[in-house]
């Protein structure tokens, strides 16, 4: 289920953190990962009331990078599924503009998302997902953000949200992955992604910097003054890679889980310190959403079942 973020952009610039997830905590479709910080200037200047400006930061010289599918261009950026977690991704969103389009109606006609199990600019990682989604003004809303150069007043780069539903969902175990992005729109060859941007930073990079495919050659996404990341969000559900009762997260359920179970029950902080890659909720053996003494009997049953 794709949850549009545009209304949230308009609702709360203040809550917009750089990874963005805090702003979305209340959404029904859980945000697995989000790097969509772009707003540098709340409403003001030449930007219409209630809209926002995403201004390149000095000394940068480019507002974005071409990612047009018709030119076989791609951008790709990394994300990490942490140890002990499994992510089931059912929606992916990214952002784009076609210069001089109207902000009242999206020019985008297609979104393409690719997931690799490694850096596509290094060797040949496996393609785990390659999904093309038709877009229209109805399903690619204006984000509320205008991308501009530093100290430029311009409405020529309205940024749209480009969502894809992933069905069947993509299930990923712990590891580092790369998300490839491309789009098409009414103006052939003009689809561009803005960069993740935070005030005062010439480059805002999380993990590895983004890479781009242009005329068949991969290279870093440079401003060219500083390396850049590109904005995107992943939605879905996450679960533990381990089974109920496997409190030491070794993939087995046995007596070595007894002490960790007791620790999870009696000392959540101590448990988190001793097993940072595990999930204390694995102790919720009766499945009622809480970890407490009512889980002891079900835990013993799990442990002793033939
Ligand atoms: Ca990155
Ligand atoms: Ca175990
Ligand atoms: Ca319980």
Centre of ligand 2 from the C-alpha of residue 88, in Å: 23
189-to-108, 160, 181, 216, 223 alpha-carbon distances in Å: 11, 16, 14, 15, 20
Find the ligand nearest to 176 CA.
1
Centre of ligand 3 from the C-alpha of residue 285, in Å: 6
Find the ligand nearest to 232 CA.
1
Centre of ligand 2 from the C-alpha of residue 279, in Å: 12
User: Both tokens of residue 65?
Assistant: 């990078």
**Per-residue 3-state assignment (H helix, E strand, C coil) for the chain:** CCCCCHHHHHHCCCCCCCCCHHHHCCCCCCEEEEECCCCCECCCCCCCCCCEEEECCCCCCCCEEECEHHHCCEEEEEEEECCCEEEEEEEEEEEEECCCCCCCCCCEEEEEEEEECCCCCCCCCCEEEEEEEECCCCCCCEEEEEEECCCCCCCCCEEEEEEEEEEEEEEECCEEEEEEEEEEECCCCCCEEECCCCCCCCCCCCCCCCEEEECCEEEECECCCCECCCCEEEEEEEEECCCCCCCCCCCCCCHHHHHHHHHHHHCHHHHHHHCCCCCHHHHCCCCCCCCCHHHHHHHHHHHHCC
Residue 99 buriedness (CB in 10 A; 0-12 / 13-18 / 19+): middle
pLDDT of amino acid 24 = 31
d(CA 205, CA 196) in angstroms, rounded, equals: 8
pLDDT of amino acid 11 = 38
Backbone φ, ψ for residue 267 (5° rounding): -150, 80
Contact 36, 95 (CB under 8 A): yes
pLDDT of amino acid 13 = 38
Find the ligand nearest to 79 CA.
1
Centre of ligand 1 from the C-alpha of residue 277, in Å: 22
Centre of ligand 2 from the C-alpha of residue 258, in Å: 9
Centre of ligand 1 from the C-alpha of residue 210, in Å: 5
Centre of ligand 1 from the C-alpha of residue 243, in Å: 31
Contact 275, 260 (CB under 8 A): yes
The answer to whether the bond into 97 is cis (omega within 30° of 0) is no
Find the ligand nearest to 285 CA.
3
Find the ligand nearest to 299 CA.
3
Centre of ligand 2 from the C-alpha of residue 300, in Å: 13
pLDDT of amino acid 12 = 38
Find the ligand nearest to 248 CA.
2
Find the ligand nearest to 287 CA.
3
d(CA 66, CA 157) in angstroms, rounded, equals: 13
Centre of ligand 2 from the C-alpha of residue 242, in Å: 9
What sign has the CA pseudo-torsion 126, 181, 71, 209? negative
Centre of ligand 2 from the C-alpha of residue 170, in Å: 27
- Tens digit of pLDDT at every position of the chain (306 positions): 455 555 444 433 333 333 333 333 333 469 999 999 999 986 666 788 889 999 999 888 899 999 999 999 999 999 999 988 999 999 999 999 999 999 999 999 999 999 999 999 999 999 999 999 999 999 999 999 999 998 888 999 999 999 999 999 999 999 999 999 999 999 999 999 999 999 999 999 999 999 999 999 999 998 867 999 999 999 999 988 999 999 999 989 999 999 999 999 999 999 999 999 899 999 999 999 999 999 999 999 999 986
Find the ligand nearest to 220 CA.
1
d(CA 229, CA 60) in angstroms, rounded, equals: 14
Centre of ligand 3 from the C-alpha of residue 82, in Å: 24
174: Cβ contacts below 8 Å, ≥ 6 apart: 81, 82, 83, 84, 85, 86, 241
């Amino acid at each position: 289920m794709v949850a549009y973020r545009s209304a949230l952009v308009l609702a709360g610039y203040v809550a917009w953190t750089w990874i963005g997830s805090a702003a979305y905590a209340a959404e029904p479709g859980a945000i697995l990962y989000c790097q969509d910080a772009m707003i540098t200037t709340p409403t003001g200047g030449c930007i219409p009331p209630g809209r926002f400006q995403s201004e390149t930061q000095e000394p940068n010289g480019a507002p974005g990078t071409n990612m047009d599918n018709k030119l076989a261009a791609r951008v790709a950026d990394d994300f990490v599924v942490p140890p002990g977690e499994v992510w089931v991704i059912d929606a992916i969103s990214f952002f784009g503009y076609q210069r001089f389009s109207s902000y009242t109606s999206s020019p985008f006609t297609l979104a393409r998302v690719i997931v690799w199990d490694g850096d596509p600019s290094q060797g040949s990682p496996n393609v785990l997902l390659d999904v093309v989604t038709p877009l229209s003004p109805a399903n690619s809303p204006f984000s509320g953000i205008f991308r501009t150069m530093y100290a430029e007043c311009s409405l020529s780069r309205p940024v749209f949200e480009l969502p894809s539903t992933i069905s069947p969902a993509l299930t990923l175990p712990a590891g580092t992955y790369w998300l490839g992005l491309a789009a098409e729109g009414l103006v052939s060859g003009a689809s561009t992604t803005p960069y993740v941007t935070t005030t005062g930073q010439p480059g805002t990079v999380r993990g590895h910097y983004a890479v781009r495919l242009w005329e068949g050659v991969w290279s870093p996404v440079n401003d060219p003054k500083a390396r850049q990341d590109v904005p995107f969000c992943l939605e879905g559900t996450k679960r533990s890679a381990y089974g109920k009762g496997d409190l030491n997260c070794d993939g087995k359920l046995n007596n070595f889980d007894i002490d960790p179970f007791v620790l999870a029950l009696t000392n959540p902080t101590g448990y988190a310190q001793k097993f940072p890659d595990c999930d204390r909720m694995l102790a919720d053996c009766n499945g009622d959403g809480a970890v407490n003494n009512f889980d002891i009997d079900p835990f013993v049953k799990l442990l002793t079942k033939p």
